[in-house]
Amino acid sequence: MNPWKGLGGLRREVWILAGATLLNRAGTMALPFLVLYLTQGLGFDPAKAGEAMVVYGLGALAAAPLGGQLSDRIGSLRVMRGALILSGTLMIALPLAHSWPVLLGLVALWSLTAEAFRPASMAILTDLAPEDRRKAVYSLNRLAINLGMSVGPVLGGLLARHSFRALFWVDGATALASALVLRFAVREAPPRQGRSGSAHPFSALSDRRLALFLLAVLPSMVVFLQHEGALPVVLVQDLGLSPAFYGTL
């Protein structure tokens, strides 16, 4: 089986979106190192860092349906650009805050803006690809995400040796650079038939099979996402390993 079959002939915009995603994800280091920044960089205890991760998760919960609704109303590309610009700006500003309430507020806003990118990116890929090419388009997008996430934490670990603040500045800069790519290289795709902003954001849960699938995915994601919560604390604080080791792992 040829894993690249179906990628030939994809629209130019699909490849540009994949490139912008790769650029953005290659700079993803602020969230994986957020707990270490709060504990090692600012001296908060792990319980406080856990609170910040909860706030980020709650923001992401709100961002998903909001991002989808906005994509239907004002266009997916606008949501993507806005999410990148706002989240990038917030990441650059976050290291300037030191009081706990301000930090939590910035984390909440950062999550709300950054996570709105996800549903918008899926929606625009659906609009750009004919039905028989959607699997190939989604696979290309996922490849860009995974390649970027293979680079970002490694670079983040190296930067953490010198400055935790630099993690946020580099991550924010790549988000802003990705927004520029989308601004000048991609045009909004017309929505496909059947997409409407009038649908309730949770109407899809009326499909029992989808609801059961999501219920099955939930516990596995709880375990998987420990790499952003407890794992860095265990490796660096309890085992005495370096942030660079964590990033490489």
- Indicate the pTM of the whole model: 0.84
Stretch among 59-63, 110-114, 129-133 having the lowest mean pLDDT = 129-133
pLDDT band at 34 (very low <50, low <70, confident <90, very high): very high
Is the pLDDT at 57 greater than 70? The verdict is: yes
Is the pLDDT at 113 greater than 70? The verdict is: yes
Q: Which three-class secondary structure string do you get for 87-152?
A: HHHHHHHHHHCCCHHHHHHHHHHHHHHHCCHHHHHHHHHHHHCCHHHHHHHHHHHHHHHHHHHHHH
d(CA 179, CA 83): 9
Is the pLDDT at 138 greater than 80? The verdict is: yes
69-85: pLDDT as tens digits: 898 888 888 999 999 99
Q: What percent of the chain has pLDDT over 90?
A: 35
200-236: pLDDT as tens digits: 667 777 888 998 999 999 999 888 877 788 888 889 8
139-171: pLDDT as tens digits: 888 989 989 888 888 998 899 888 889 999 999
